[in-house]
Structure 1
Amino acid sequence: MDHTAYIAILSVAFLVLLQHLLGLANRNGKNKSRMRRPPTPPGAIPFLGHLHLIKKPFHATLSRLAERHGPVFFLRLGSRDAVVVTSAALARECFTEHDVAFANRALLPSQRLVTFDGAALGTASYGPHWRDLRRIAVVQLLSARRVGCMSGAVCAEVRAMVRRLHRATTTAGGAVTVELKRRLFELSLSVLMEAIARTKAERPESDADTDMSVEAQEFKQVIDEVFPYVSSVLWDYLPVLRWFDVFGVRNKILAAVSKRDAFLRRLIDAERQRLDDGDHSEKKSMISVLLTLQKLEPEVYTDTMIAAFCSVRDSFVAQAEIDAAVGHSRLINADDLPRLGYLRCIVAETLRLYPAAPLLLPHESSTDCNVGGYDVPRGTALLVNVYAIHRDPAMWEDPGRFLPERFEGGGRAEGLFMAPFGMGRRKCPGEALALQAVGVALGSLIQCFHWGRVGGVEVDMGEGSGLTMPKAVPLEALCSPRAVMQDVLQKL
């Protein structure tokens, strides 16, 4: 067959394909034209959509767009359609009336690379696999009994942090400047590692400025390598760019994921060895619980699945409450939290003003549905701007002010909308453990130390860019031990 015949065949094939695509596009266009779509910002560009309108921080851009286009609007983010919700009423509608429809996750290609191809609890598609993971998390790992068993590890890590701070103030001979972001990040990572795998078998030297285990420090390095790439890769929204990955981002992600997987494998193997050696302590790590279950149902509890799991006046009020309820002879523990109502108000108000993530993890509609009177097609990502909802003046009085008293007397139970841990079927199952750790840590810091501004300068609360809304300027504060707690601090 000569070249002319080849060209003719290819031309016919191309024309047939083009006709099919044009017909499909026409049918989709007719279907969409019959839909009542949410308002959308003008100026969408072919292929890019509204990506050129997005500035950092992302949630602030969405808040500004909501002021112009209303509490629900449509965005085209490259190849992805998205509906943005910025009101409490619409968020409730999405996660009550349409909870099943929005139970899927809008998983981006970069997220697939770092979440075991979407097999982890937070990213798995709604279905039998996700239900199995959710049942394991709620019943086996994060039940009230398991969270109670982990309170000892939480309190131990908080005591270690308090001990380091007291040692620093003693060395300085008084007040000392503390970089709270680093301290609290190390605390949260240490609590997480102890809950997952009991990694404090070997501690650093007693005079070290960190009490993290070697494994926790390695885990921090893994997080630092993986996190910058998640959801920030342009080819997440423009798939054609995956063929032209000139900066080698994909290979960098895969290399970081390989380190992460090897690290988790070592943790699993170490816990398996402990069990094989006869360690059947009641205070098991999450990996130990899963490995015990694996012996009963090996086809369900695979190693891959296990790895995938894996203000001044306000502080004085809280100090007085803790002094009255706990005294000065010991540190507070998890059992004290139910009696510390004002401390809980401080935690709730902090989560309202500064949620850990200003946007809920993206959901995706599995069927066509209607939100706020607008049609939302199947496969549309749902972005819920919790930051904007928590500061909505229509719901919160003086929303920009830090006012813990707004939660006194069951304010949240009386209908005030809060969703720092999500809503509906995909709500974070670790809420109880997180609130316990935050309560014990914050309570201990308030109980043991006086806190002040460095140089008397107002704290810069400006926001940086990132998925978790970090501060633009790391928080520093003056820390000095309370005289009434010196006896306890010296015994730590």
Structure 2
Amino acid sequence: MFNMEFIEIYFLIFLLLILVITKLLNRTRCKHMNLPPSPPTLPILGHLHLLKEPFNRSLFALSQKHGPIFSLRLGSHLAVVASSLSVVEECLTKNDVVFANRPYFWVGKYIGYNYTTVGSSPYGDHWRNLRRICKLEIFSANRLNSSSSIRRDEIKNLLRKLYYSLSDDNFVKVELTPLLSKLAFNITMRMIAGKQHKPKAAKLHDLLQELLKLGVSPNVGDFFPFLQWADFFGYKKKVVKLTREIDGLLQGLVDEHRRNKDGFEEEDTVISHLLRLQESEARYYTDEIIKGIVQDMLLGGINTEFITLEWSMSHLLNNLNTLQKSKSEIDFHIGHGRLLDETDLPRLDYVQNVISETLRLTPAVPLLIPHVSSDRCNVLGYNIPKGTILLVNVWAIHRDPKVWDEATSFKPERFENGRIKGCKTMPFGLGRRGCPGMDLGQRIVGLALGSLIQCFEWKRVSSKKIDMAEGKGLNLQKAKRLEAFCKARNTAKELLS
């Protein structure tokens, strides 16, 4: 029998040979295919071991070593990471059609109704029809204007809840994170389904939050197809169970609208509007398509809106001069005789700049939803094969010192007088796959943030600045929940009491 020490030595030599051969093969392949530069790789795993949370920071660190465009081998998939404005413009303007597809990941199959929703479906006629529905039937200016009363009512409900929880003329500590999350959900839910369904809405909110946590978890089968049969950590089982429960609740909302047609048409909800379209085009506006649109609105909108509000308030509390300047602008243009309204937002330039700077420095989705190439293309002289995943590190692009002065500082003034041109910021994506709900999100964040500034005095809970550490996951949530001291201003006393 072999001595165990010799076996260990031979095994280490064997591993070393595999590493050397793999490295040589990858180097030869990259040179032959003219791929973007790449870090050293491991057998089978490729570069998966280099991806650590938060992913936007680990990819940024790699870009510092390998340049604004580099390639990664993620198991069986080739990926290209774009970390500069010039690279993204090449990919999502010049080669926009080529990169208009989505990867066939498990999220799209189990959460995206088998790749049939606007967020998960491949580029083609079906996706174009869904996009048209979203732009013309759901997020058009006319429909958003008609639903402005919902946003006004829900924000006023939040203001009143805050007002009645405060002591007279005293600062009281409030936890803003859950309040802002519930606000974003209530607004979206009322636009979709009306005022009813409170027990169902509460359950749906909890299920969606659980699904979001699982949906951004890596699935081994996505990177190693030969392991798709295995359900590591029970992710697939949990997601299937959650999506069935969510689908049941969404179907219940659709059925209730169908039964109580006249009542919901008065509210002109998203579901009632889509059901009217179903009457004329029943084959296309199926219940599954309607539920997919509704789920995309809930999953895509709620977290991004509340995360942006949370970061905006955090930045203002850490920059009190900016908070005071925002307050002065609102007092000047709106005064104390009425509450801020959506129609006032275009006049509040500085408040809009605060939101723009928040989206630059702390975008809610720091890595855009992955794209995948449907054909071969060329990006800045590099050959990109068909089926390559494109990861856009918006967080890194927004902090590029070659583009931004004092790139890591919070300076809303940089957006004054329309000085930022083109696509220097892209928190909602770029090209065909840009977020169709961008206008709605900007209205909700602008009205909510402006109303909180108009009605209340705010200060930090301690002399130290608020911890701006990022949490884990693909959404850029704060690691710690936001708390602040709050006191009603005279405006709130007059308008909310």
TM bucket, shorter chain: 0.7 to 0.9
Q: Distance in 1 between matches of 2:78 and 2:28?
A: 17
Q: Distance in 2 between matches of 1:33 and 1:485?
A: 66
How far residue 178 of structure 1 moved from its aligned partner, in angstroms, is: 1.7
Q: Are 1:242 and 2:228 matched, yes or no? A: yes
Q: Distance in 1 between matches of 2:232 and 2:462?
A: 47
Q: Deviation per CA, 1:413-468: give whole Å up to 9, x if none.
A: x3460100000001111000000000000000000011100022210001111111
Q: Deviation per CA, 1:377-427: give whole Å up to 9, x if none.
A: 000000000000001000010011111111110123x34601000000011
2:271 equivalent among 287, 298, 322: 287
**Aligned residue in 2 for 1:266:** 252
Q: Distance in 2 between matches of 1:252 and 1:129?
A: 29
Is 1:111–1:230's contact at 8 Å kept on the other side of the alignment? no
Letter of the 2:37 counterpart? P
**Aligned residue in 1 for 2:173:** 177
Is 1:120–1:305's contact at 8 Å kept on the other side of the alignment? yes
Q: Are 1:300 and 2:284 matched, yes or no? A: yes
Q: Distance in 2 between matches of 1:343 and 1:214?
A: 36
**Aligned residue in 2 for 1:356:** 364
Is 2:63–2:70's contact at 8 Å kept on the other side of the alignment? yes
Letter of the 1:146 counterpart? R
How far residue 69 of structure 1 moved from its aligned partner, in angstroms, is: 0.1
Q: Distance in 2 between matches of 1:330 and 1:40?
A: 58
**Aligned residue in 2 for 1:141:** 138
Q: CA RMSD in A?
A: 1.8
Is 1:110–1:236's contact at 8 Å kept on the other side of the alignment? no
How far residue 31 of structure 1 moved from its aligned partner, in angstroms, is: 8.5
SS at match of 2:401: coil
**Aligned residue in 2 for 1:9:** none
1:215 equivalent among 182, 186, 200: 200
Is 2:34–2:383's contact at 8 Å kept on the other side of the alignment? yes
Q: Are 1:230 and 2:215 matched, yes or no? A: yes
**Aligned residue in 1 for 2:495:** 488
Letter of the 2:49 counterpart? H
SS at match of 2:465: coil
2:111 equivalent among 105, 110, 114: 114
Letter of the 1:98 counterpart? N
**Aligned residue in 2 for 1:315:** 323
Letter of the 1:36 counterpart? N
Mind listing any 5+ residue stretches in structure 2 that lack a counterpart? Answer: 1-25, 295-315
2:94 equivalent among 93, 97, 118: 97
Q: Distance in 1 between matches of 2:340 and 2:259?
A: 35
SS at match of 1:244: coil
Deviates more, 1:33-42 or 1:364-373: 33-42
2:436 equivalent among 396, 409, 429: 429
SS at match of 1:64: helix
Q: Distance in 2 between matches of 1:421 and 1:315?
A: 25
Q: Distance in 2 between matches of 1:437 and 1:182?
A: 16
Q: Are 1:475 and 2:461 matched, yes or no? A: no
Question: Within 5 A, what are the aligned runs for 1:316-355?
Answer: 316-355=324-363
TM-score, length of structure 2 as denominator length: 0.87
**Aligned residue in 2 for 1:201:** 196
Q: Are 1:254 and 2:240 matched, yes or no? A: yes
How far residue 149 of structure 1 moved from its aligned partner, in angstroms, is: 1.0
Letter of the 2:328 counterpart? A
How far residue 30 of structure 1 moved from its aligned partner, in angstroms, is: 9.7
Q: How many residues align?
A: 447
Alignment CA distance shift 1:449-1:173 (3 Å) = closer
**Aligned residue in 1 for 2:63:** 66
SS at match of 1:447: helix
Mind listing any 5+ residue stretches in structure 1 that lack a counterpart? Answer: 1-27, 203-212
Q: Are 1:391 and 2:399 matched, yes or no? A: yes
Q: Are 1:382 and 2:384 matched, yes or no? A: no
Q: Are 1:163 and 2:160 matched, yes or no? A: yes
Letter of the 2:322 counterpart? D
Letter of the 1:321 counterpart? E
Is 1:197–1:287's contact at 8 Å kept on the other side of the alignment? yes
TM-score, length of structure 1 as denominator length: 0.88
* Bigger helix share: 2
How far residue 47 of structure 1 moved from its aligned partner, in angstroms, is: 1.6
- Quote the sequence identity (%): 42
Q: Deviation per CA, 1:238-263: give whole Å up to 9, x if none.
A: 23333232533211111011001001
Letter of the 1:455 counterpart? S
SS at match of 2:462: helix
SS at match of 1:81: strand
Q: Deviation per CA, 1:298-338: give whole Å up to 9, x if none.
A: 01100000000012111211111111111112211111111
Q: Are 1:401 and 2:396 matched, yes or no? A: no
